[in-house]
Amino acid sequence: MNKKLRAIVAGIFVSFLITFFAPGLMAQTSDPGQKIAGHWEGAIELPGMKLEVLVDFKLSAEKKLEGVISIPIQKAKDLPLVDIKIADSEISFAIAGVPGNPVFKGKLDESGQKMSGQFTQSGQTFPFSLSKGEDPVARAKKILEGMDEVINKAMADLKVPGLALAVVKDKEVIFAKGYGLRDVENKLPMTPDTLLAIGSASKAFTTFALARLTDEGKMSWDQPVRTYIPWFKLSDPLITERITPRDLVTHRSGLPRHDRLWYNNYQATREELVRRLAYLQFTADLRQKFQYNNLMFLTAGYLLEVLTGKTWEEAIRELVLNPLQMKRTNFSVLDSQKDQDFAQPYAYRQKKIEKIPFRNITNMGPAGSINSSVREMSNWVVVHLNSGKFGEKQLLNPATMADLHLPHMPIEQTPATPYLSPASYAMGWFVDYYRGHQRVYHGGNIDGFSALVSMLPNDGFGFVVLTNRNGTGLPELLVRTLTDKLLGLEPVDWIGEAVRNAAKAEEVGEKAEQKAATRKIKGTRPAHSLEEYAGTYVHPGYGEVKVVLKDKSLSFVYNGITTPLEHWHYETFNGLQAEDPTFKDMKLTFQTDVNGNVAAVVSPFEPTADPVVFRKKPDQRYYDPKFLEKLTGKYVILNQVTTVELKGNTLTLFVPGQPVFELVPDLGDEFYLKQAPIIRARFIFDQKGEVTGLEQIQPSGVFELKKITDKEESPREKAPQKK
C-alpha cells in the first residue's frame, strides 16, 4: 500500500473513532455542570396527581452550578436550589428555605436530556422525572415573531384603527409592539409607548394599593366600612352596618350599576358621590349575587383617601406607580393629551370609524381613569406574575397577592364557549379557566378605548392589549389566539369567527332599531303645553335633570349632556341623536300631581331597578330670602289674624292658638305646611307684583285672607272705644 493510500485510510479510521466514541469522550472530559445547565420541565408524582415543576440550572461566572425551581400550581416562583451535586450520571439538589427538607435525587439517562429519581420531603418519598427542553422564553419569542400578519388582518377586519400589545413571560417582557395608527387623521403610528385609557382595568390598582395598607395593618378587608368612614350610609340600614371593603371590591354589595349618576358628572366630588349612595335602590341583598358596580370601587378609592390622608391619585402613585417605575402613567385624558405619544379615541358608527371626544372620568378614577402604555403596563403584569415582587423589592406579601386573585363572588352566567369555565370575581380581577388554564384578567372600556390585561399565573404568561376603538372585542380574541399558540393548544379561529358574526350582528341591530319605532302609539298629544314641562327636576341620589324649552322644542340636560326631545306618545318623550349620544332613545315620562301640575319626570336611568323619579323643583325665587321677605306680614279673615314671618331662609305661618307651621315651597306657586301637608298656601299678587292676600287651601275649601298693610290695624288689635 503506498503512503498516500495509507494516509487516506488512517484519516477515515480516525474520523470513525471520533464519530463513534465522541459522546462518551465528551461526557468524561466536559464539565458536568455544562451538561446540566438549561431548562427542565417535569413533575413529581403525588398520589392521584402530578405536581408540575420547572427547574432552571445555570453556570455562574465562577463556573459554579446554580438553580431555581418553580411550582406553578403552588404559586412558587424561582425558589433557590442548594447542595447541587453531580457525580457521573447521578444528581441531587435541595430546595432552600422550605420546611421538610425537600430533596431531589436522581439519574441522567444516556442522552443527558432526561433525569428521574426520588423526591423526599418530611419523610415521604415520591418519584419524579424531568426532561430538558427549549428555554421557554426563547420558544415564546419565536412563536410571537409570526403574529404581525395575524394582528394587522384582525384590525382591518374588525375595524380597529390602532392596537398596542405586550407579552410577559415570568419576569421578562418578551414582546412589546404597536400596530396601526394612534391618530388616523395625522397618520401617526401606534407604539408600545403610546398612552391609551385602560378603563376598568384601573380597578386592580385600587385594590393593590388597599392591599398594601392591609400588609401594614392599617386596614382589614373584613371590617365594616363604617369602621373607617363613620358617616357612610346606604339605603338599606342592615347592609350599611355589615358591608366591608372586601364587599366593595367584589361586586357583591347588592347595588346595581347606577352608572348614569356619575357619568360625565364633573360637579360632584368623590365624597359627594359616596354620600349619594344613601338614596340608591338595592336589587339584591349583600353577598347574594354578582352585580358589577363602579360606584363601589369609587367608595373603595375614597376609603384609600381617608386611610392615607391623600388623594386617590397621590396614593396610587406612591403605593403602586412609583415602585413599578410607571412614570408616564396618569389619571386623566387631559394629562395624556399633554404627552408627545398618546392615542386619539375612535368609535365605529354608521359603518365607519370616526373620531369621538375624549371623556374625562377623573371623578371615578378609582374605578377606571388610568391611562398608560403597554410598556409600562408590563411592569404591572410582572408584579402580579411574581407574587408581589418587582425587581428586588417585595411590594406585597405573597399571601396578600394570592388573596387578590382568589375567586370571591361567582358570576351567574353560562360561558359563551365550552373552552371557558364559569367565571368569578376576585378583588379587582375576573378569574376563570381557559381550556383548563387558570386566567386572571380584567377588561376596560371607556369612550374611544378598549383594553385588556390578562394573565395565566400557572403558565407564567401575561398580556396587555390596548386599543383606541370603543367597545371592540379584539383584545380578548387576540389574547385567546396568543394563548393557543404559546401553550401549544389546538388552534381555534377566534378572530375569523368574530368577523363572521360581526356582519350578522350589524344587520340584526339595524332591523331591531327600525322595529323600535313600532312601539310608538300614533295620534296622541301631550296633556300640557310645552312650557309646563320646562323646569328643574331633582332626585336625592341622581341629582338634577333640567328640561329646557327653546324654539318651541324641548330638550333635557343631565350631567352636562344636552339631548333634544321628541314627543313619543301621551306624556312620554324620546331622546334624539345629539353631539353626545349617551341618551339617544332614552324615554322620559312626565307625571302630573293632583293639582294638575307637571310634578315629576320618570326614566329608566338604572335598567335593572325601578325607574328613577325626579321631582320638579318649585320656582327658584321661593328659595330667595329677598323675595320671601315680600311675603311676610299679617293676613286676616273673619277677624282672625295669620302671621307670616321669615326665620332664616324658611317662611313660617302662625295662627293664634295653634303651633307655628313651616311653609315648604311647592309647584303652582304654592306652599304646603310641613306639619300638615294637606293644607296649602298661595300668595296673591297684584299687577305691580305686590302681595295683596293669601289663600289657604284646605280639603273643605279655599279661604282668602287679606294682607294688612302697615297703615292698617288688625281687627283684634284695635283698642276698645270708651263710651
Same-domain status, 121 and 93? yes
> What does DSSP say about strands 661-666 and 670-673: parallel, antiparallel, or unpaired?
antiparallel
Q: In this structure, are 477 and 579 located in the same domain?
A: no
pLDDT, position 30: 54
Are residue 127 and residue 152 in the same domain, yes or no?
no
* Side chain identity at residue 130, one-letter code: L
CB-CB contact of 119 with 102 (8 Å) = yes
Residue 424 within any structural domain of the chain: yes
Residue 27 lies in a domain: no
Q: How many domains does the chain have?
A: 4
Whether residue 109 is contained in a domain is answered as yes
> Residue 94: inside a domain, yes or no?
yes
User: In three state form, how does the secondary structure of 332-398 look?
Assistant: CHHHHCCCCCECCCEEEECCEEEECCCCCCHHHHHHHCCEECHHHHHHHHHHHHCCCEECCEECCCH
594 to 268, 527, 599, 678, 703: CA distances (angstroms): 34, 14, 9, 11, 19
Are residues 303 and 447 part of one domain? yes
CATH number at residue 203: 3.40.710.10
> Could you give the angle at the alpha carbon of 559 between the alpha carbons of 555 and 563, nearest 5°?
25
Asked if residue 546 and residue 499 are part of one domain, the reply reads: no
What CATH number did the domain enclosing 70 receive? 2.40.128.120
Contact between residue 244 and residue 222 where contact means Cβ atoms under 8 Å apart: yes
Which pairs from 492-498 meet CB under 8 Å and 24+ separation?
Answer: 492/419, 495/150, 495/153, 495/154, 495/157, 495/158, 498/158, 498/473, 498/474
224 and 274 co-located in one domain: yes
Does residue 659 lie within any of the structural domains?
A: yes
318 and 403 housed in the same domain: yes
Q: Which of 103, 133, 163 is at the close of a domain? A: 133
Q: Are residues 329 and 200 in the same domain?
A: yes
Please check whether residues 415 and 482 belong to one and the same domain.
Answer: yes
Question: Does residue 163 sit within a domain?
Answer: yes
**Adjacent-strand bridge partners of 71:** 76
Residues β-bridged to residue 694: 683, 705
Residues 611 and 628 in one domain: no
DSSP 605: S
At 104, list the grid cell: 431531589
Q: What is the DSSP letter of 279?
A: G
Residue 4 within a domain: no
The CA angle 589-592-596, to the nearest 5 degrees, is 150
Comparing CA positions, the residue from 299, 311, 315, 316 lying closest to residue 231 is 299
pLDDT number for residue 78: 87
Write down which residue in 133, 166, 197 finishes a domain: 133
Distances (CA, A) of 34 to 58, 60, 117, 214: 8, 11, 21, 45
Cα-Cα-Cα-Cα dihedral sign, residues 258, 260, 263, 265: negative
Residues forming a β-bridge with 707:
635
Examine the domain organization and report whether 199 and 329 are in the same domain: yes
Task: Please identify, among 582, 600, 616, the residue that sits at the C-terminal boundary of a domain.
Answer: 616
721 exposure class (CB count in 10 Å sphere: 0-12, 13-18, 19+): exposed
DSSP 422: P
Specify the pLDDT at position 711. 62
Q: Which residue has the cell 307637571?
A: 598
* Single pTM value for the model: 0.87
Spans in the chain with pLDDT lower than 50 = 1-29, 719, 721-723
- CA distance linking residue 393 with residue 404, whole number of Å: 19
Amino acid at 282: F
- List of residues 6+ apart from 427 with CB closer than 8 A: 204, 207, 211, 221, 246, 249, 250, 403, 404, 406, 408
Q: Is 291 within a domain? A: yes
Q: 612: which strand partners?
A: 603
Which CATH number covers residue 646?
Answer: 2.40.128.50
The residue range of the domain holding 400 is 142-505
Pairing mode, if any, of strands 670-673 and 371-372?
A: unpaired
Q: Based on the fold, state whether residues 122 and 220 are members of the same structural domain.
A: no
Identity of the amino acid at 203? K
| Residue 563, C-alpha cell as written in the block | 339631548
pLDDT value, residue 398: 95
